[in-house]
């Protein structure tokens, strides 16, 4: 018996395209507590994340940028996942979590696209932590 996963693949492709076309938490925050921007020079993807922090939680988060559907959808999904969460919990998010949220196999060539949002988020929080020392 052959398993046909094409229906699920199509569902996840639609899911990613929805986040790309209608990104959640898109935009910028005025006077963010933490902010960072980076790009993937190989493909031109660019993402910025702004965070408002309160009592050790991500009170609000916005992202902006441009790039492929994978990078933008991944950033959109990540902002949904971390909003309202403790910073300490966010520090534990790894690439496996991001890839699982996307729900599709990501080729080696697209891995940096998928993980750019996580890299930016972690850098923003790392800079904020450094500033607070």
Taking the C-alpha atoms of 81, 123, 90 and 93 in order, what is their torsion angle to the nearest 10 degrees? 80
Does the pLDDT at position 53 exceed 90? Answer: yes
Counting the structural domains of the chain, the total is: 1
Give the C-alpha separation, 80 to 78, whole Å.
5
- Whether residue 50 is contained in a domain is answered as yes
Would you state the pLDDT for residue 104? 87
Cα dihedral sign, 13-86-58-43: negative
Would you state the pLDDT for residue 128? 84
Would you state the pLDDT for residue 101? 92
- Whether residue 119 is contained in a domain is answered as yes
Give the C-alpha separation, 79 to 25, whole Å.
7
- Whether residue 1 is contained in a domain is answered as no
Query: How confident is the prediction for the chain on average, in pLDDT?
Result: 90
pTM given for the model:
0.88
Q: Which DSSP letter does residue 110 get?
A: G
CATH, residue 22 = 3.90.1010.10
Please give the residue range of the domain that contains residue 107: 6-132
Does the pLDDT at position 7 exceed 80? Answer: no
**Which residues are paired to 62 by β-bridges?**
50
- Whether residue 34 is contained in a domain is answered as yes
- 117: exposed, middle or buried (C-beta count within 10 Å: 0-12, 13-18, 19+)? buried
Stretch 59-83: mean pLDDT: 97
Q: Which DSSP letter does residue 64 get?
A: E
Would you state the pLDDT for residue 9? 66
Does the pLDDT at position 6 exceed 60? Answer: no
């Amino acid at each position: 018996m052959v398993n046909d996963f094409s229906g699920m693949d199509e569902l996840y492709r639609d899911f990613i395209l929805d986040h790309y076309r209608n990104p959640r938490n898109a935009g910028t925050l005025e006077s963010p507590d933490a902010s960072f921007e980076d790009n993937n020079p190989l493909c031109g993807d660019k993402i910025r994340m702004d965070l408002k922090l309160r009592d050790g939680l991500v009170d609000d988060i916005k992202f902006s940028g441009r790039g492929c559907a994978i990078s933008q959808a991944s950033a959109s999904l990540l902002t949904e996942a971390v909003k309202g969460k403790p910073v300490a919990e966010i520090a534990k998010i790894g690439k496996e979590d991001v890839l699982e949220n996307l729900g599709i196999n990501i080729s080696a060539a697209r891995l940096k696209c998928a993980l750019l949002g996580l890299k930016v988020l972690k850098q923003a929080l790392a800079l904020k932590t450094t500033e607070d020392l």
